[in-house]
Structure 1
Amino acid sequence: MSVEYKVVKIVPPSKKEEDCKPYYPRITKRDKMDLRGLAEDISQMSTFSTIDVIGVLEAFTSLIPYYLKNNYSVELGDLGTFSLHINAEGSESPEKVSRHNVKGVNMAFRPSPRVKKDLQDIRFKKASSKK
């Protein structure tokens, strides 16, 4: 299997096209795997029924945000770690920093070394251009 990419033209607003290399590969034609499909695949490779797996995955989906909101990072063994990161504005002094400096929150995922290694042998294929 290969990951398909298409060619896109990106010229930063601060540059002229002739001053940069404006063509980049971008992954295309992504299919989606939903919760049920994932549960069915797990069921096929284990003794658990699809319904049992869906129950576990639904609980997982509920618990990850719960733990993140309670100031935990969630480490999932050989999968990786979920954690929160904030977007914030600075202040002139430490005393002026408060919760009002926080402007947003993002959930980050850091893959484990095993997952990173498993992804090193990805093959890429240029998508056919239709005209």
Structure 2
Amino acid sequence: MSIRYDLYETPDIQQTGEQQPLHPRVVINGTIDQNEFLDRVHKFTGISRSLLSGAMQSFQNELRDLLANGWVVELGDIGYFSVSLQGPPAMKKEDVHAQSIKLKNINFRPGTQFKKEVGWQMRLERGESFNRSHGKGRSEEECLTIVNEYLRKHPCLTRADYCRLTGHDKKRAINELNAFIEQGVLMRYGAGKLVVYAKTME
């Protein structure tokens, strides 16, 4: 197997008007969800699927608790997890209170050896992203076919999944997903950044 890349012109940040050099970006194949990931590990190791699922949940719970208590967590050669904070701008320490500080992000820094191994494993070939190869994008019928095919293999999809699969931008993706909901094809679950879409229950 190989990883595909496409070439994009670097943004002209200085606004010189001159042609900018090209840089490569990965053409994403899709998203491997937790169930498929566990299935793959089970297939190649023979470790019980239920044991893997339980271990994954235990890792997640312990990682959550350690990060929430200020630890940096190393997961073998995979790398390190840590958290960063954000708060209001202030010039004096006494102007900042704990209630005004919150989580900014969960950070991941890959281990040096793991990063090298990923690089050694990569086999690159030229490809094109959906955004560039389909001009104005796909028709609604084509998009619905893609969605149905995706949902045969996965329990749900996100707006980001839809953008990746169809090549449509965020605004168009939301409009089309809402149209599918109105048609009774899809149902929306969750709220905010946790929204997912699934087939309407028969």
- Both proteins in one fold, TM over 0.5: yes
Amino acid at match of 1:106: N
Aligned equivalent of 1:51: 50
Gaps of 5+ in 1: none
State the distance in 1 between where 2:102 and 2:14 align.
Answer: 30
Give percent identity, aligned residues only. 23
TM-score, structure 2 as length reference: 0.53
1:26-45 mapped onto 2 (5 Å cutoff)? 26-45=25-44
> 1:57 Cα deviation (Å)?
0.9
Higher helix share: 2
* 1:50-74 Cα deviation digits (max 9, x unpaired): 1211121122223322221121222
Structure 2 runs not aligned, ≥5 long: 135-202
For the structure 1 residues 101 and 24, does the alpha-carbon distance in structure 2 shift closer, same or farther, using more than 3 Å as the test? farther
Aligned to 2:20: 21
Q: Indicate conservation of the 8 Å contact 2:2/2:123, yes or no.
A: yes
- Please list, as runs of the form range in 1=range in 2, the aligned pairs for 1:1-131 lying within 5 A after superposition: 1-9=1-9, 11-12=11-12, 15-16=14-15, 18-19=17-18, 21=20, 23-99=22-98, 102=101, 104-121=103-120, 122-128=122-128, 130=133
Give the superposition deviation at 1:15: 3.6
- Cross-structure match for 2:184: none
Q: If each structure's strand is expressed as a fraction of its own residues, which one has the higher value?
A: 1
- The Cα RMSD (Å) is 2.7
Q: Which moved more, 1:15-24 or 1:36-45?
A: 15-24
SS in structure 1 opposite 2:82? strand
Name the aligned partner's letter for residue 4 of structure 1: R
Distance 1:114 1:11 in 2: 32
Structure 1: distance between partners of 2:102 and 2:48: 43
Which structure exhibits the higher relative contact order, with contacts defined as CA atoms closer than 8 Å and separated by 6 or more residues?
A: 1
Task: Output the CA distance in 2 between the equivalents of 1:11 and 1:47.
Answer: 47
